[in-house]
Amino acid sequence: MTQFAAPGRDLELQGHYAGAVTRLVAYVIDSVTLSFLFAVGATVFEFLLADVLGIDFDVADHPVAATVALAVWSFLYFAVPLAASGRTFGSAVLGLRVVRSDGSELDPGHAAIRVLVFPLSFLFFGLGFLLILVNREHRALQDLIADTAVVYAWDARAARLRILARAPVGGGEPGGTSAVRSAPS
């Protein structure tokens, strides 16, 4: 796997459209986190109802309420951090950021629209997500509707320095260890 790692390349790609793999992994992380937190929340809620109020409540017995709760929770989970920083937890882990199509910062309105139309991408066997592969700007259906884009945006410079610092002398990136580069031709 490390054959795919190249800190110098990552530095150059900051601000460019993110690809399908990183976005998929980010979404998986978000889904797992979302589900885990919802499950924890539901358990805590059941525990509080049972222990504090003495009401025997099982979320599984109320699928509609559970679905509504999950929908609301999902909206909040995605929309709030997107509006605040342009990142969800999963995209932060992968170093992604949602921006407006011109590169400007995402505002709460467009963040909300993006989250609301997100389920549309699942229609027709995930055709909306397939656009990430086909579209030159790697924009999914929710991006096209909300006028947004996903870009690589992490501190690649610091990451590069960290990787180089761990690497043995002479084992860094291609280009040798000479402290002075050859003059540009």
Rule CB under 8 A: say whether 113 interacts with other proteins.
Answer: no
Instruction: Assign 152 to helix, strand or coil.
Output: strand
Binding test (CB under 8 A) with other proteins, winner from 66, 93, 113, 117 = 93
**Of 8 and 41, which has the nearer Cβ to other proteins?**
8
Token pair 């549309």 in the structure block, residue = 120
By CB under 8 A, tell whether 94 contacts other proteins. yes
Site for other proteins in 32-51 (CB under 8 A): none
Q: Is 27 in the site for other proteins (CB under 8 A)?
A: no
Of the candidate spans 33-41, 49-57, 67-75, 146-154, the one that interacts with other proteins by CB under 8 A turns out to be 146-154
Interface with other proteins, residue 149, by CB under 8 A: yes
| Spatial separation of the C-alpha atoms in residues 82 and 77, rounded to whole Å | 9
Q: Mark 29-67 as b/e (b = at least 16 C-beta within 10 Å).
A: bbeeebeeebeeebeeebeeeeeeeeeeeebeeeeeeee
Backbone angles phi, psi at 142, to 5 degrees: -65, -30
Question: Per CB under 8 A, which of residues 159..178 are in contact with other proteins?
Answer: 159-167, 169-173, 175-178
- Among 17, 13, 21, smallest CA distance to 101 is for 17
Tokens (6 digits) for 123: 């229609």
Query: How far is 158 from 166, CA to CA, in rounded Å?
Result: 12
- Candidate ranges 62-70, 73-81, 117-125, 158-166; the one touching other proteins (CB under 8 A): 158-166
64/165 with CB nearer other proteins = 165
Residue 139 sits at the vertex; the CA angle it makes with 138 and 142, to the nearest 5 degrees, is: 155
126 scored as a contact of other proteins (CB under 8 A): no
One of 11, 49, 66, 112 touching other proteins (CB under 8 A):
11
Binding mask 53-82 for other proteins (x = CB under 8 A): ------------------------------
d(CA 26, CA 124): 22
Q: Which is nearer to other proteins, 75 or 154 (CB)?
A: 154
